[in-house]
A and B are shown apart, each in its own frame.
Chain A
Amino acid sequence: MSAPVLELRGLSKAFRVRHGFMGRETREIRAVNDVSLTIGRGEVYGLAGESGSGKSTIARMIMGLTEPTAGTILIDGAPVAHAGQRPVQMVFQNPGASLNPRRTVAQSITVPLAVQGVGAADSAARVAELLEMVELPRHFAGRYPHELSGGQKQRVAIARALATTPKLLILDEPTSALDVSVQAKVMDLLADLGRDLGLTYLFISHDLSLMRNFADRVGILYLGRIVETGTADQVFAAPSHAYSRLLIASVPVMSEDEARARPTIPLIDGEIPTAEALVAHEAKQLSQGSKA
C-alpha cells in the first residue's frame, strides 16, 4: 500500500505567554497536544472542534504558516519543505478576506502559476480551464472580488488552490460564511472535484451535520487533543467520549429523527453543562463506579 497523503506524528504546538510583573514569567499554552493522524489518497478527513480546540493551528502548521514545537508532518511519506513549496493548498473560511480586493480573479489565480514559471499565454489558458473547473464563466477572469457573490468568491478561492495541483487540500470552514443554499452548491462542487481529480481533503468545520455528510472519517478535537476518531458513521452513531457526545447533542436539527439520534446529555443543575463540567462530571461518575 502506498504512503498516506498526509501523516501527522505527535504534532504539538505550545505558545509561550508572558505574564506577571514586566512579563518576566512565562506560561505555556498547549494549543495542539500530541496530534497524530493519517489521511489516505482520495479520502475526506473531517476535523471537528470548537474555538480554541486547535483545529486552525493544525491547519496552519500543515501549511507552514506556523512552526510546530514538536512532531513531524509527512506528505506522501516525505518530510515537508518550506511554506509555499508544499503540495498542500488551503481554502479559507471567509472568501471576502482571502481574496485581495485590489486584484482581479485572473490576477489572484495566476499567483501560483507565476511561481511555477508558467508564461502569460499558458497562464491565461490555465485560468480559463480553472474557472471552467469551478463552474464559473470565463469572463469572470477580469472581475474584482467585490463584483462577485460570496459563493462565486469561494469558487475563485478553490480555483486558486487548485492551480498548483496540490496533493492535499485543506478546507477551513469553507462554507460557514455562505447561505445554506449556496453552501450545498459549493459542497457539491468540492465533492465533484474530489472525485474527478482524485483530491484528498482535510475538512475543518464546526458544522457537524455538514461533516456527517461530507467526511469519510472524523476526528473530534478538544483542548488540542483528538479525543475520538473513526469513520463518520461510527463516531456519529455511537460517540464514546463525553465531549463528542455533548458536541453532537448540541447540534440544532431539522427533524424528530435527527433529534432522536442525538445522544442524551445529563442536565447539571437543570442546565446544559459546559464541556469542562460534563467531562469532570463523567470522570467523577467513573471513579465512583469503580469504587462501588
Chain B
Amino acid sequence: MTAPLLSIRGLKVRFTAYGQVNEVLHGVDLDVPARGNVALVGESGSGKSVTMKAIMGLLRTPPAEITGGQILFRGQDLLTMRERERLKLRGTAMSMVFQDPMSSLNPVFTIRDQLATILKYADRRLGRDRSRAQRLARVHEVLAQVRMREPEQVAAAFPIMLSGGMRQRVLIAMALLSEPELLIADEPGTALDVTTQAQILKLLKDLVAERGLALLMITHNLGVVRETADRVYVMNKGTIVESATTGAIFAHPREEYTRDLMAAVPRLTGGHRYGTQGGRA
C-alpha cells in the first residue's frame, strides 16, 4: 500500500484567549489518499476549520499554537518544514478553494489579471519560467476546465459582472492554476443557491475523476458529503469521532454522535413531524 498524499497524525492545537488556554484539537488523525475524495464534516466549533487552517498554514500564531502531531504531505512534515519550502507548496501542489465567492475576488481587477498575477507569483516561487502569453493561455485553459462556456469573455470580465456560481467556478479555476495534487475546498457551494450548488459539486467530483487530483472538502452539510465524497471523517469537539467510506457511514453509522447528527437532518421524502408532542413522543 502506498503512503497517503496527505496524512495528519495526532494534531493538537490550542488557543490562548484572555489568559485562558483552550485545547481545540485533541489529536486529529486524517488521511487523504492520492486521487481520493474525502470529506471532513462537523458542526460549528467542531474544529474542522482549525484543522483546515493548520493544513494550509493559515493559523494565526498567537493566539493559536500547534502543540503536537504531524501534517505529512507527500511524506514530508509541513510543521517542521522550512517556511520557504512550505510556501512553495501552498497554492501550487496543495491549493484551496475559498468559501465566499463574493469577497475572495478583488472587485477592481479583471478575472484574467487576478489569475495571471497569482500564476506569476506561483511561477516565481517555483522558479518556473513562462511568458505572459503562456500564462494567459493557462488562465483560459483552467477557465475551460471549470466548464466556462466562453473562457475568453469570462477572463475579460470584472467579478461584479459574473453570477455567484460563475465566481465560485473562477475560484476553483484559481486553485487549479498550478496543477495541484490536493484541492482543499472550504464549504463549497454553501454561499450559493441549491441549484448552483449542485452544479459546483458535480464539477468538483468531475475534476477529481478526470484530472486525478485529490479533494479534501470541509463542510457541515451531510447531504453534500453523501453526494460528493468517497470517504468521510466526522468531527466533534476537536476529535475525529468516526471515519468510514461514504456508503458504509450512511448505511450503518457506528457512533451515537454520527447517528444523532444524521437523525437531525430533515429528509426530502418527508415523514417527520416536528414538535415534541408530535411524531417522536
Contact = CB atoms under 8 A, between A and B. Distances in A.
Q: Do A and B bind each other?
A: yes
Interface of A: 50-51, 150, 179-181, 183-184, 187-188, 190-192, 194-195, 206-210, 212-214, 232-233, 236, 246-255, 257-258, 261-262, 271-272, 274-275
Given A206-B193, A254-B223, A195 B275 contact: yes
Interface of B: 43-44, 147, 164-165, 193-199, 201-202, 220-224, 226-227, 250, 260-262, 264-278
10 contacts: A179-B44, A191-B273, A206-B193, A208-B268, A213-B271, A236-B269, A246-B195, A250-B195, A250-B198, A253-B223
Query: Main secondary structure on chain A at its contact with chain B?
Result: helix
A184 to B, nearest CB: 4
Contacts of B273: 191, 213
B270 A213 contact: yes
Nearest to B223: A252
Contacts of B278: 191
A214 B268 CA distance: 11
A183 B263 CA distance: 12
A212 B271 CA distance: 9
Contacts of B277: 192, 195
Contact of A212 (B223, B224, B260, B266): B266
B48 to A, nearest CB: 12
Contacts, number: 121
A255 B198 contact: no
Contacts of A248: 268
A50 B220 contact: no
B195 A192 contact: no
Given A194-B275, A274-B199, 10 more contacts: A51-B193, A180-B222, A181-B264, A195-B275, A212-B269, A232-B270, A249-B198, A271-B199, A272-B199, A275-B195
Contacts of B261: 180-181
A200 B268 CA distance: 23
B202 A272 contact: yes
- Of all A-B residue pairs in the complex, the 7 with the closest CB atoms, nearest first, are A252-B223, A191-B275, A191-B274, A50-B193, A250-B198, A179-B43, A209-B266
Contacts of B274: 184, 187-188, 190-191, 213-214
A274 B195 contact: yes
Given A191-B273, A271-B202, A181 B43 contact: yes
A181 B260 contact: yes
A213 B280 CA distance: 13
A287 B9 CA distance: 60
Contacts of B270: 212-213, 232-233, 236
A195 B274 CA distance: 11
| Residue from A150, A179, A194 whose CB has the most chain B CB atoms within 10 Å | A179
Contact of B194 (A191, A212, A250): A250
